[in-house]
């Protein structure tokens, strides 16, 4: 794992001021994502972390064009330097982006796999759809190769999803996600429901695909998994990214700069095991100032009055370590 890679000029994904609002009938709008700004470079893994309900999956859905009709997006999310995912339109997203330019590693592989078809049949179908491979023998060979890329055992290819363990179902889903050879992999909670050993194997495999040159945006509330896999970490709270940092300084020394990020780490069983008191605010009723103020031991009048801007990869009036992280160029430019 490399903490602070230099980022080439064109990121695989460049997200600028991305906001998502859900328009609610007769009620307050829900500010699910606000002004998210980050980029992911080829060969880099960015982990987006934060508590349940903070807007991570909504952000992912915005990138894939899979938001419901009552959602409104602003900002931009440019893929490969040429396609703004927020304005591309469903036809482009369906035909050229999902599966082809963004490989989707699903949250729930069991639900993602078709229950009545074997893994081999599903791999072969996706191969026919996304690649030029034709002819029964060639497709069969390609399915074997696709399975091997995700370490899915060949002798399980003729099984149905319900005959697979959680770990093998995840590998089958990963094999499907890799077929289009997409430059960006998007994995939303890929380790949910897996035991620790399988979490580690799954993230190590995803890391391997990143090391082959793909970019990986992994969304997770599992900080141990994020530490294991990510080059950089983006911490989200109440719909906003509040800190982006290199994994090494974030998880090691000097540690996070944002009090919420520090709270998340301190809550880990292997650290203080001390949960952050209180609950995140409702995304339909966010306070004017810092959304974390009600839970923050460092909060003062300025924090409750004035929302901290996201500057130098931090959104806090009283950052913890008082120094700039050694960020990648992408984060520093963001």
Which spans of this chain sit near ligand ADP (rule: CB under 6 A)?
22, 30, 32, 50, 52-58, 68, 283
Q: Which is nearer to ligand ADP, 68 or 135 (CB)?
A: 68
Residue 240 as a binder of ligand SF4 (CB under 6 A): the answer is: no
End-to-end CA distance of the chain, in Å?
22
Cβ atoms of 104 and 110 within 8 Å: the answer is no
**Neighbour count for residue 181 (Cβ, 10 Å):** 13
Residue 316 as a binder of ligand SF4 (CB under 6 A): the answer is: yes
The closest residue (CB) to Mg ion is 57
Question: Cα(37)–Cα(13) distance, rounded to whole angstroms?
Answer: 11
Assign 3-state DSSP to the chain and report helix, strand, coil percentages, each to 5. Answer: 35, 20, 45
Residues 52-111 that bind Mg ion (CB under 5 A): 56-57
Residue 296 as a binder of ligand SF4 (CB under 6 A): the answer is: yes
Peptide bond preceding 90: is omega within 30 degrees of 0, i.e. cis? Answer: no
- Select from 19-27, 65-73, 139-147, 314-322 the region that touches ligand SF4 (CB under 6 A): 314-322
Shortest distance, position 36 Cβ to Mg ion, whole Å: 14
Q: 132-147 burial, b if ≥16 CB within 10 A, otherwise e?
A: ebeeeeebbebbeebb
Question: Cα(230)–Cα(43) distance, rounded to whole angstroms?
Answer: 11
Residue 328 as a binder of Mg ion (CB under 5 A): the answer is: no
Residue 42 as a binder of ligand SF4 (CB under 6 A): the answer is: no
Shortest distance, position 332 Cβ to ligand SF4, whole Å: 20
Q: Pairing mode, if any, of strands 215-220 and 45-49?
A: parallel
Shortest distance, position 222 Cβ to ligand SF4, whole Å: 23
Residue 54 as a binder of ligand SF4 (CB under 6 A): the answer is: no
Shortest distance, position 231 Cβ to ligand SF4, whole Å: 24
Shortest distance, position 47 Cβ to ligand ADP, whole Å: 13
Phi-psi region of 75 (alpha: psi -120 to 50; beta: other; left: phi over 0): left
- Near ligand SF4 by CB under 6 A: residue from 80, 299, 312, 332: 299
Which residues bind to ligand SF4, rule: CB under 6 A?
Answer: 259-260, 290, 292-293, 296, 298-299, 303, 308, 316-318
């Amino acid at each position: 794992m490399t903490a602070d890679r230099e980022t080439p000029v064109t990121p695989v994904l460049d997200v600028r001021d991305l906001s998502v609002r859900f328009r609610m009938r007769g009620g307050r709008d829900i500010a699910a994502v606000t002004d998210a700004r980050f980029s992911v470079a080829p060969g880099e893994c960015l982990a987006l972390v934060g508590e349940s309900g903070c807007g991570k999956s909504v952000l992912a859905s915005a990138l894939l064009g899979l938001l419901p009709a009552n959602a409104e997006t602003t900002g931009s999310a440019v893929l490969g330097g040429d396609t703004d995912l927020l304005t591309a339109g469903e036809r482009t997203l369906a035909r050229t982006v999902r599966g082809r330019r963004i490989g989707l590693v699903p949250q729930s592989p069991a639900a993602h796999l078709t229950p009545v078809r074997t893994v081999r049949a599903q791999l072969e179908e996706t191969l026919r759809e996304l690649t030029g491979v034709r002819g029964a023998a060639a497709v069969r060979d390609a399915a074997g190769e696709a399975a091997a890329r995700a370490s899915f055992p060949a002798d399980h290819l003729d099984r149905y999803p319900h005959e697979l363990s959680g770990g093998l179902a995840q590998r089958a889903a990963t094999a499907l996600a890799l077929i289009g050879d997409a430059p960006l992999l998007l994995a939303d909670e890929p380790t949910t429901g897996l035991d620790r050993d399988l979490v580690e194997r799954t993230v190590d495999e995803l890391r391997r695909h990143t090391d082959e040159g793909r970019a990986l945006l992994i969304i997770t509330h599992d900080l141990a998994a994020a530490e294991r896999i990510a080059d950089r970490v983006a911490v989200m709270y109440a719909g906003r990214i509040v800190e982006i940092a290199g994994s090494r300084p974030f998880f090691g020394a000097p540690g996070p700069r944002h009090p919420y990020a520090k709270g998340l780490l301190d809550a880990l069983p292997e650290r203080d095991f001390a949960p952050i008191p209180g609950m995140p605010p409702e995304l339909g009723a966010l306070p004017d100032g810092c959304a974390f103020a009600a839970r923050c031991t460092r909060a003062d009048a300025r924090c409750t009055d004035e929302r901290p801007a996201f500057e130098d990869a931090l959104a806090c009036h009283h950052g913890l370590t008082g120094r700039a992280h050694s960020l990648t160029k992408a984060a520093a430019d963001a």
